[in-house]
Amino acid sequence: MTADHPEVSLVVPCHNEAENLSALYERVLAVMNQTEKSWEMICVNDGSKDDTLDRLLALHHKDPRVVVIDLSRNFGKEAALTAGLDHTRGDCAIPLDADLQDPPELIPELLTKWRDGYDVVNAVRLSRKGESWLKRASAHAFYRFINRMSDIPIPEDTGDFRLLSRPVLEALSKLPERRRFMKGLFAWVGFRTTAVYYHREPRLSG
**Which residues bind to ligand UDP, rule: CB under 6 A?**
13-15, 17, 46, 74, 76-77, 80, 97-99, 101, 203
Q: How far is the CB of 121 from ligand UDP (least distance, A)?
A: 19
x/- contact string, 112-151, with Mg ion (CB under 5 A)?
----------------------------------------
Work out whether 203 is an interface residue with Mg ion (CB under 5 A): yes
Integer Cα distance of 187 and 63 in angstroms? 33
DSSP 186: H
**Shortest Cβ distance from residue 100 to ligand UDP (Å)?**
9
Write down the least CB distance from residue 203 to Mg ion, Å: 5
Give 14's strand partners.
Answer: 45
- Residue 119 touches which member of Mg ion, ligand UDP, none, C-beta under 5-8 Å by kind: none
Nearer to ligand UDP, 35 or 74 (CB): 74
CB atoms within 10 A of CB 153: 11
Residue 101 contacts Mg ion per CB under 5 A: yes
Can you tell me the distance from the alpha carbon of 137 to that of 165, in angstroms, rounded to the nearest whole number? 32
- Minimum distance between the CB of residue 55 and ligand UDP, rounded to whole angstroms? 12
Member of 91, 99, 119, 157 binding Mg ion (CB under 5 A)? 99
Binding partner at 76 among ligand UDP, Mg ion, none, C-beta below 5 to 8 Å by kind:
ligand UDP
Report residue 35: phi and psi, to 5°.
-75, -20
Number of residues that bind Mg ion (CB under 5 A): 4
By CB neighbour count within 10 A (0-12 exposed, 13-18 middle, 19+ buried), where does 149 fall? exposed
What does 46 interact with, of ligand UDP, Mg ion, none (CB < 5 to 8 A by kind)?
A: ligand UDP
8 A C-beta contact, residue 71 and residue 83: yes
Burial 76-106 (b: 16+ CB within 10 A, else e): ebbbbbbbbbeebebbbbbbbbbbbbbbbeb
Task: Please give the helix or strand (H or E) that residue 90 lies within, else none.
Answer: none
Chain residues that interact with Mg ion, rule: CB under 5 A: 97, 99, 101, 203
